[in-house]
Each structure stands twice: as C-alpha cells, then as structure tokens.
Amino acid sequence: MLILAIESSCDETAAAVVKDAREIISNIVHTQLAEHSLYGGVVPEIASRRHMEKLSSVTKEALQQANLSLEEIDAIAVTAGPGLIGALLAGVNFAKGLAFASNKPLIPVHHVRGHVAACYLADSTLEPPFLCLSVSGGNSLIVRVDDYTDFKLLGYSRDDAAGEAFDKAARAMGLGYPGGVYIDNAAQSGNPDAYKLPSPHVEGSRLDMSFSGIKTAVVNLIHNAEQKGLEINKNDLSASFQKTVGDILINRLMLSCEMTGIKICCLAGGVSANSYLRSNLQKECLKRNIRLIMPPLSLTGDNAAMIGAQGYYEYLAGNVAKADLNAVATLSIEGVTAESFRV
C-alpha cells in the first residue's frame, strides 16, 4: 500500500511516500529553522504561514521524487496532533483537500506515534511488543507498544520536555537554536563531571521525569558566575548538562525494561540524535542483552516518512477520517482513533 504522508506540526513542512510502513519511496523535509533561529525559538504564527506557502511544493516534490502521480497513491496520512494548532491546521486542511478531491482515504496520525514508527523504517523486522523512549522538543515519554496502534504510557516528563530543556539551557549559555545540536557539539570538548547538576526524582513514580530544575540550575550557575565576575566553561557545562539529562533518560528506559520484562527498546524523536544518549544507551543495552533500535539521524527530527509508516497501521486498524477531521494541540498517545481528532 502506497501512502502519501504530510507533516506540519511544528517548524518542518514535510511530505513523503511510504510503502507498507517499511519502505521510504521519497522523503522531503523543508525546515524553517533559519527563520525561527532569529527569534531563539519557534514563532507559531510564522510557522503556520510558511506551512501554507510550502505544503503544495513539498508534496509535489515528494510525488516527483517517488516518480508517482497522485492517482497511483492509495491513501493520504496527515499529522493531526499534538503540536502547534495553527501549524497542524495548515497540514490537516491541505491533506483534507487532497484526499477528498482525489477520493482517497484520509488517515489522521498522532505525531508521537509517528516518531515511534520511524523505528519500523530503521529496522524492517521490528514488531510489537517493545518499549520506546520518545524524546523531542514537545514531549518526553516512555511507552509500551503492545500492538501497532495499542500504546501504554509508562512514564513522561512532568514539566519541560528534554528537548525544551536543551533549548532553554543553550539559550542561557548564549548558544544557538536549536539548543540540542549546539550543546551536543560543545560537549564534545567538555568535561561531563565539571559541574554538578541536580538529578530530580518525581515523587510517587519511578518512571516519570522532570527537567525544568536542571535547566534552572544551569541558569542560576550562569547568573552566579556573572555576579562574581567568573568565567563559565560552556563546553564543560554543555557536557555536564548533556550527561545529566542523558543519564536520567537511560535510567528510566532501563528501569522500564526491568519492570515490564520487555527486552526490545527503541529511541525516537529529535533528542534521539544526541551523541551521548545514543552511545551510552547502546552500552547499557549491550550489558543487559537488550535489542536496541535507533532511527538514522535523518529520521530523528520531524519528517513525513514516519507519519506514513504509522499511517499504514492506523489504516489497517480502521482509523480513517471523515470530512469533520480537526487538528488537536494536545492529545495522549493512548487510545487514539480517528474519533480523537473530530471537531
């Protein structure tokens, strides 16, 4: 089955053609990064406008690269939430028009389910049940994937998402946007034990996480140093921050394996590009004989191929939208059906 997928939940306008959830036929991503970095973060209104301008050409390019016409496509999948509401609406309305004009089924896809599905594209033999740590700018969560459309939330960040903490800590250090990439680069020549940062636990949960205190510790450290006229070593602080956040994520995922007895783990989302997280998670999984699947760097950030992959399984589960499809800014990953995105 050939699915044309559209993604516009944040600052990437993306379209892809995916075959049977496992094969990328084409994958086009137009990033708005340069424009948003002028403001140090995503400006929702600008994001929506750029999606409106780019959706048509990015989709045309995805079809051209696949060497397919719209008639040869079997269904259209679109990210319908969670995300920035204006940005989502741009993609949903575009996909709706395309689907109804061409008389194709329209499949609404949960954005984080899409990130998880990037792992089906990374390893074509991957099948549920497995655990997935999905870490991005908007969400940080650990899910048990019992079946392709059956997710159980095991743990999540109670405050900032891990990526959000990276971005805010980087801003405090005067590094660029998106902060994760800059911190990762700076950390390469830093000492991860130079600064002691807090590693908070959430009362009443062994798997939930909290990152805003670590970010605040970075901000306070910088302010204190400024007041005393002391220099902060940004490479050392980046390495310490990255290790603190990475260790929490790895600890919670390994604990989830212990608690569930599941020995297949996946990593997904923008923060899964982090070099410390990737290499240390690999080591921990090897020690415990856990199979680890990580998407290639090209599929860690927002893209439409992952939406096409998850869209296939949503279609098989009967999650096809009607004309009243809407976009939803916040939505749990559990129990999602086409009904979850209705007006």
What's the rounded Cα separation, in Å, for the pair 257 and 144? Answer: 10
Which residue, 91 or 180, is less far from ligand KG4 as judged by CB? 180
Q: What is the DSSP letter of 190?
A: S
246 interacts with ligand KG4 by CB under 6 A: no
Which phi-psi region, left, alpha or beta, contains residue 91 (left: φ > 0; alpha: ψ -120 to 50)? alpha
Of the candidates 116, 214, 271, 285, which one interacts with ligand KG4 according to CB under 6 A?
Answer: 271
138 interacts with ligand KG4 by CB under 6 A: yes
String of contacts with ligand KG4 for each residue 312-331, x by CB under 6 A: --------------------
Residue 131: which of 293, 331, 335 has the closest Cα? 293
Do the Cβ atoms of 285 and 265 come closer than 8 Å? yes
For residue 200, whether the previous peptide bond is cis, meaning omega lies within 30 degrees of 0, is no
What's the rounded Cα separation, in Å, for the pair 131 and 154? Answer: 9
- Using CB under 6 A as the binding rule, the residues of this chain from 191 to 230 that contact ligand KG4 are none
Q: At closest approach, how far in Å is the CB of 134 from ligand KG4?
A: 9
DSSP strand E in 260-325: where?
Answer: 264-268, 291-293
What's the rounded Cα separation, in Å, for the pair 176 and 243? Answer: 19
Q: At closest approach, how far in Å is the CB of 88 from ligand KG4?
A: 12
274 interacts with ligand KG4 by CB under 6 A: yes
Q: At closest approach, how far in Å is the CB of 183 from ligand KG4?
A: 6
- Using CB under 6 A as the binding rule, the residues of this chain from 1 to 20 that contact ligand KG4 are 10
302 interacts with ligand KG4 by CB under 6 A: yes
Bridge-partner residues for 131, per DSSP?
144, 265
User: Which amino acid appears at position 300 of this protein?
Assistant: T
b (16+ CB within 10 A) / e for 44-62: bebbbebbbebbeebbeeb
Do the Cβ atoms of 106 and 325 come closer than 8 Å? yes
Q: At closest approach, how far in Å is the CB of 41 from ligand KG4?
A: 9
What's the rounded Cα separation, in Å, for the pair 301 and 43? Answer: 18
Q: At closest approach, how far in Å is the CB of 62 from ligand KG4?
A: 18
> Judged by CB under 6 A, which stretch of 91-99, 216-224, 231-239, 264-272 contacts ligand KG4?
264-272
* Total residues in contact with ligand KG4, by rule CB under 6 A: 19
- How many Cα atoms sit within 13 Å of 2 on the Cβ side? 15
301 interacts with ligand KG4 by CB under 6 A: yes
- Using CB under 6 A as the binding rule, the residues of this chain from 62 to 121 that contact ligand KG4 are none
> Is 334 exposed, middle or buried, given 0-12, 13-18 or 19+ CB atoms closer than 10 A?
exposed
Tokens of 169: 């800590």
167 interacts with ligand KG4 by CB under 6 A: yes
Q: At closest approach, how far in Å is the CB of 54 from ligand KG4?
A: 17
String of contacts with ligand KG4 for each residue 22-61, x by CB under 6 A: ----------------------------------------
295 interacts with ligand KG4 by CB under 6 A: no
Of the candidates 8, 13, 136, 310, which one interacts with ligand KG4 according to CB under 6 A?
Answer: 136
Tokens of 323: 């004309």
What's the rounded Cα separation, in Å, for the pair 91 and 81? Answer: 10
> Judged by CB under 6 A, which stretch of 30-38, 123-131, 226-234, 267-275 contacts ligand KG4?
267-275
Of the candidates 178, 190, 308, 311, which one interacts with ligand KG4 according to CB under 6 A?
Answer: 178
184 interacts with ligand KG4 by CB under 6 A: yes
Interface with ligand KG4 (CB under 6 A): 10, 136-138, 163, 166-167, 178-181, 184, 269-271, 273-274, 301-302
